[in-house]
């Protein structure tokens, strides 16, 4: 097993969030908000989607060296599972579920005649004798079979789990929310299985310019998106929270210094800063080639640095908002009452200010999460984003620029990245919304 830098950080993040979850669930007064989250249908369904994305991302974060093959590349568990998707490359573009290439070539027909037409694909739909006639029916057929198999799998697990849950955790089965969540899980798993089953026979989302499966690319991009979203936030949050709250609470010279730092940082075009640091990393890596001997290590390093520099450049907005809110909060009478009680300044910051700016942090983190994924796309466009060899929605969108200008248009790359990105960002948004509502005690009695 090989642990890349971002892998290590992801593991730490997972462990930390498990510990945090454990800690929160032990505290008696967190029981009510937690119950509220678990009772919210939108919240739980979006959490399910998020978990689905996260599981794929985690599978993609366990790297090891291939035991067979000529090159013995570093691959992830996801690559291992999705080997057919990874290996079955076509020559160039092909549409979703198509059995033919998307561009004309000289094709040798059975009677040795050479015609100018669309050649058959090497893998997609290759089991068909006559794709023109049986194609559509076969797709539906296979889809139904795949769905049924997925459903069967789910029901099997559900039945196995049933007796256990029924005895120990009955609340997981009762109530309308539980029903909705189980139904969503059923649909999600069956659909996922159907897609996996189908991709054994077809390119579900077509292929790109070099014949790579777009579905595979989109799945691989989940990890990149999660890494950029979470690691950048992880770097940005402490800076924004500590500086913002301190500037607002202490005012005076502390405020002056912090304001000076972020106005200076803000006045440098962030693209320049990002470009400079990415180029720096590139140069460093080419000077120390022996430490970065494989492609995947290099692109991982670049991803990490991108997160770092994005984090450093993007904390100012949140910082300013937190400063303004803290300025308002520090004049609140409960803060003054705490001062009168002789509570330490640091305790006031943590106990009185921080919980009351949490909603701002949560909202802006979720909004930033989506804008970061988009920022990555923009940066890829001017070649200072993630490494071109890294799969990312940004790279896919960047590639789709030319494809959209092509005639006939190639739309599936853009659509795939859009759908996946949309799914992740929407789920994160809805879930954050539920969390924010649940943790606001003033909203607790107002129904949904």
Partner 1 sequence: MEDILLQVRGLTVAFKDEKVVNDIAFDVYKGETFALVGESGSGKSITALSVLRLLPRNAIISAKEMTLNGENLLSITEHNFCKVRGKRIALIFQDPMSSLNPVMTIGEQIAEVMEIHFNYTKPELVQATFELLQKVEIPEPERRVNEYPHQLSGGQRQRVMIAIALAGKPDLLIADEPTTALDVTIQAQILKLLKTIQQDTDMALWLISHDLALVSNIADRIAVMQQGHIVETNSTAHFFKQAQHPYSLKLLAALPSMDSCINKVIEIPSKALLQVDGFKVYYPIRKGIFKRVVDYVRAVDGVSFQLQRGKTLALVGESGCGKTTLGKGLINLIAHTGGTVLFDGVDLTKMSKAALRKKRSEIQIVFQDPFSSMNPRMLVGEIIEEGLKALHSDMDSATRQQRVAKLLNQVELPESSAMRYPHEFSGGQRQRICIARALAVEPKLIICDEPTSALDVSVQAQIINLLKKLQDTQRISYLFITHDLAVVAEIADEVAVMYKGKIIEHGDVEQVLTNPVDEYTKKLLKAVPRI
Q: What is the binding site for partner 1 (CB under 8 A)?
A: 28-29, 332-334, 336-344, 347, 351-352, 355-356, 439-442, 444-445
Q: To the nearest whole angstrom, how small is the minimum distance from the Cβ of residue 439 to partner 1?
A: 8
Q: To the nearest whole angstrom, how small is the minimum distance from the Cβ of residue 35 to partner 1?
A: 14
Nearer Cβ to partner 1 (308/338): 338
Nearer Cβ to partner 1 (407/445): 445
Q: To the nearest whole angstrom, how small is the minimum distance from the Cβ of residue 252 to partner 1?
A: 12
Is the distance from CB of 9 to CB of 231 less than 8 angstroms? yes
397 burial class (0-12, 13-18, 19+ CB within 10 angstroms)?
A: buried
Q: To the nearest whole angstrom, how small is the minimum distance from the Cβ of residue 269 to partner 1?
A: 29
Q: How far apart are CA 5 and CA 129, in angstroms?
A: 48
Is the distance from CB of 316 to CB of 24 less than 8 angstroms? no
Nearer Cβ to partner 1 (116/253): 253
| 3-class DSSP state of 112 | coil
Q: To the nearest whole angstrom, how small is the minimum distance from the Cβ of residue 358 to partner 1?
A: 8
Could you give the residue ranges of the DSSP H alpha helices within 288-353?
Answer: 295-329, 333-340, 345-348
Q: How far apart are CA 60 and CA 221, in angstroms?
A: 10
Residue located via tokens 């989940």: 222
Q: Using alpha carbons, select from 418, 305, 314, 435 the residue that is nearest to residue 372.
A: 314
Q: To the nearest whole angstrom, how small is the minimum distance from the Cβ of residue 353 to partner 1?
A: 9
Is there a cis peptide before residue 152, judged by omega within 30 degrees of 0? no
Nearer Cβ to partner 1 (18/334): 334
Tokens of 72: 């013995």
Nearer Cβ to partner 1 (269/355): 355
Nearer Cβ to partner 1 (160/350): 350
Q: Which residues are within 8 A (CB) of 200 and not within 5 positions of it... i.e. 6 or more apart?
A: 84
Q: To the nearest whole angstrom, how small is the minimum distance from the Cβ of residue 414 to partner 1?
A: 43
Tokens of 237: 């949050």
**For the chain, counts of helices (H) and of strands (E):** 16, 4
Q: To the nearest whole angstrom, how small is the minimum distance from the Cβ of residue 440 to partner 1?
A: 8
Q: Which H or E run contains 54?
A: helix 41-59
Nearer Cβ to partner 1 (106/341): 341
Nearer Cβ to partner 1 (13/338): 338
Q: To the nearest whole angstrom, how small is the minimum distance from the Cβ of residue 28 to partner 1?
A: 8
Nearer Cβ to partner 1 (114/340): 340
Nearer Cβ to partner 1 (286/444): 444
Total Cβ atoms within 10 A of residue 34? 16
Is the distance from CB of 415 to CB of 13 less than 8 angstroms? no
Q: Which residues are within 8 A (CB) of 417 and not within 5 positions of it... i.e. 6 or more apart?
A: 218, 221, 393, 396, 397, 400
Total Cβ atoms within 10 A of residue 16? 11
Q: To the nearest whole angstrom, how small is the minimum distance from the Cβ of residue 441 to partner 1?
A: 4
Cα of 159 vs its chain's centroid, Å: 31
């Amino acid at each position: 097993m090989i642990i890349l830098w971002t892998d290590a950080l992801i593991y730490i993040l997972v462990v930390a969030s498990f510990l945090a979850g454990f800690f929160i669930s032990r505290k008696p007064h967190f029981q009510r908000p937690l119950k509220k989250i678990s009772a919210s249908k939108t919240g739980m369904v979006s959490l399910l989607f998020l978990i689905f994305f996260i599981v794929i991302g985690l599978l993609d974060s366990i790297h090891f060296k291939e035991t067979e093959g000529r090159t013995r590349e570093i691959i992830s568990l996801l690559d291992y599972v999705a080997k057919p998707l990874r290996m079955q490359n076509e020559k160039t573009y092909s549409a979703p579920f198509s059995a033919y290439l998307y561009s004309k070539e000289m094709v040798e027909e059975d009677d040795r005649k050479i015609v100018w037409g669309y050649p058959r694909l090497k893998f997609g739909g290759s089991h068909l004798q006559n794709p023109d006639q049986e194609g559509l029916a076969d797709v539906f057929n296979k889809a139904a079979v795949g769905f049924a198999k997925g459903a069967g799998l789910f029901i099997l697990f559900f039945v196995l789990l049933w007796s256990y849950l029924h005895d120990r955790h009955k609340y997981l089965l009762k109530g309308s929310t539980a029903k909705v969540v189980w139904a969503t899980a059923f649909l999600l798993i069956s659909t996922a299985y159907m897609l996996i089953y189908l991709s054994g026979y077809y390119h579900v989302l077509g292929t790109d310019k070099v014949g790579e499966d777009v579905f595979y690319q989109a799945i691989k991009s989940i990890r990149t998106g999660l890494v950029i979203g979470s690691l950048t936030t992880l770097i940005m949050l402490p800076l924004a929270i500590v500086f913002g709250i301190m500037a607002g609470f202490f005012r005076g010279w502390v405020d002056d210094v912090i304001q000076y730092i972020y106005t200076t940082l803000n006045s440098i075009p962030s693209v320049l800063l990002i470009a400079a640091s990415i180029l720096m990393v590139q140069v460093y890596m080419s000077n120390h080639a022996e430490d970065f001997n494989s492609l995947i290590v290099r692109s991982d390093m670049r991803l990490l640095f991108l997160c770092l520099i994005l984090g450093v450049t993007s904390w100012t907005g949140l910082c300013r908002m937190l400063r303004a809110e803290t300025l308002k909060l520090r004049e609140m009478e409960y803060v003054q009452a705490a001062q009168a009680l002789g509570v330490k300044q640091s305790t006031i910051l943590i106990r009185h200010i921080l919980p009351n700016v949490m909603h701002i942090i949560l909202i802006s983190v979720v909004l930033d999460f989506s804008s970061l994924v988009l920022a990555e796309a923009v940066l890829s466009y001017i070649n200072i984003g993630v490494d071109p060899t890294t799969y990312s929605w940004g790279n896919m969108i960047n590639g789709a620029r030319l494809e959209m200008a092509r005639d006939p248009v190639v739309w599936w790359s853009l659509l795939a990245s859009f759908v996946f990105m949309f799914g992740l960002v929407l789920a994160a948004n809805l879930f954050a919304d539920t969390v924010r509502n649940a943790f606001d005690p003033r909203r607790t009695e107002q129904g949904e």
